[in-house]
Amino acid sequence: MTEDDNSCGPGTGELTLDGSVPIVDITGLWTKYGRTVVHQDLNLEIEQGEIMSIVGGSGTGKTTLLRQMLGLERPARGCVKVFGEDISEITAEQLQQLRNHWGMLFQQGALYSALTVFENIAQPMRELKVLPEDLVRDAVLLKMNMVGLGPEQANKMPSDLSGGMVKRVALARALALEPKLLFLDEPTAGLDPDLSEAFVALIKSLHRELGLTVVMVTHDLDTLFALSTRIAVLAEKHVIALGPLQDLLKVDHPFIKEFFLGDRGRRALEALDEKTNKET
């Protein structure tokens, strides 16, 4: 494979949605900006039904990796497969087909400021014409109910919403096309502890009820510990450790020890233990 070769072989042209292959399969990934190498021979598999969290220090390319999974950035080398298809090699039409099967919650919500709550959630349905217009209303109200929004919120503008409400509207829009894969970029950023805990509980409930696979980038340790099935730790330009939280706590690496067992990590672990004890 040459330095700028990012082909991973021919795809089938058909999405693999039955879980027989990893939902996301990243192999030999290199990311470069000029002479700066961000990722070097990075490998990561994300299995159906799990919540995979990606963590790392500043400059480790967490959000860049997320953008590559979304087809928004192209790696210098290596392969990113989603639902069995190399997203660097497929046509624009095939990429759109892929996007119909995933949803994305951006850090700030990214709502359209000139559209109402209802119109924001309806936008993907209308753009792709997945439902006749007379059924869009029922579908939107259903998605609103799923994220804890009442019908009285439908005609509000984004500027009228609290930070927590913006997140819920954005999540409803991300779920509009009933995706199998949900990407979350800092889902609880900007929320106070109570709102953050409520939003984490909502994501956990939707993950279970809808059978979602979730890929999350977060720096919030409470969110990370509460939600993650497995955690991928980025450092030294690749994934240095991958596994459930309890396994990572045993890894003897300076970054991992500081990240998970420093002051912030210990406080988050204590809070998680306290919450777990209350629930049992």
Residue 22 counted as domain residue: no
Q: What is the pLDDT of residue 9?
A: 56
Residue 83 counted as domain residue: no
Instruction: Compute how many other C-beta atoms are within 10 angstroms of the C-beta atom of residue 156.
Output: 15
Question: Residue 173 sits in which domain range?
Answer: 48-67+90-279
Q: What is the pLDDT of residue 274?
A: 80
Domains of the chain: total: 1
Could you tell me the two tokens for 53? 């969290």
Averaged pLDDT of the chain = 90
Segment 65-84, tens digit of pLDDT? 999 999 999 999 999 999 99
Which residues, at least 6 apart from 85, have a Cβ–Cβ distance to it below 8 Å? 11, 12, 13, 15, 16, 94, 98
Residue 74 counted as domain residue: no
pLDDT confidence of 106, banded at 50, 70, 90? confident
Could you tell me the two tokens for 49? 């039904």
> Which segments within the chain are labelled E, that is strand?
24-33, 36-46, 51-56, 77-82, 85-86, 102-105, 181-185, 213-217, 230-235, 238-243
Alpha-carbon distance values, 163 to 145, 188, 219, 247 (Å): 18, 10, 18, 34
pLDDT at 144 over 90: yes
pLDDT at 179 over 50: yes
Q: What is the mean pLDDT of residues 253-269?
A: 90
Determine which of 48-52, 59-63, 262-266 has the lowest per-residue pLDDT on average.
Answer: 262-266
Q: What is the pLDDT of residue 8?
A: 66
Q: List the 213-217 sheet strands across, edge first.
A: 102-105, 181-185, 213-217, 51-56, 230-235, 238-243
Residue 41 counted as domain residue: no
- Please state the pTM of the whole predicted model: 0.90
Residue with more model confidence, 3 or 104: 104
Q: CATH number for the domain including 210?
A: 3.40.50.300
Q: What is the pLDDT of residue 119?
A: 96
Could you tell me the two tokens for 115? 């559209």
Q: What is the pLDDT of residue 99?
A: 87
Residue 146 counted as domain residue: yes
Q: What is the mean pLDDT of residues 204-223?
A: 95
81, 24 contact by CB (below 8 A): yes
Burial of 42: CB neighbours in 10 Å, binned 0-12, 13-18, 19+: buried
Residue 268 counted as domain residue: yes
pLDDT at 181 over 70: yes
Cα-based torsion angle of the residue sequence 47, 239, 269, 254 in order, rounded to the nearest 10 degrees: 160
* Residue 174 identity: A
Residue whose pair of structure tokens reads 């990407």 in the numeric block: 183
What is the CB-side half-sphere exposure of residue 49 using CA atoms within 13 A? 7
Q: What is the pLDDT of residue 133?
A: 87
pLDDT at 196 over 90: yes
Segment 79-94, tens digit of pLDDT? 999 999 999 888 888 8
Residue 273 counted as domain residue: yes
Please give the Cα distance from 61 to 132 (Å, whole number): 41
Residue 27 counted as domain residue: no
Segment 110-140, tens digit of pLDDT? 899 999 999 999 999 898 877 888 899 999 9
pLDDT at 277 over 80: no
Q: What is the pLDDT of residue 2?
A: 45
Alpha-carbon distance values, 52 to 59, 66, 158 (Å): 20, 12, 30
Segment 8-56, tens digit of pLDDT? 655 555 666 666 789 999 999 999 999 999 999 999 999 999 999 999 9
What is the CB-side half-sphere exposure of residue 8 using CA atoms within 13 A? 22
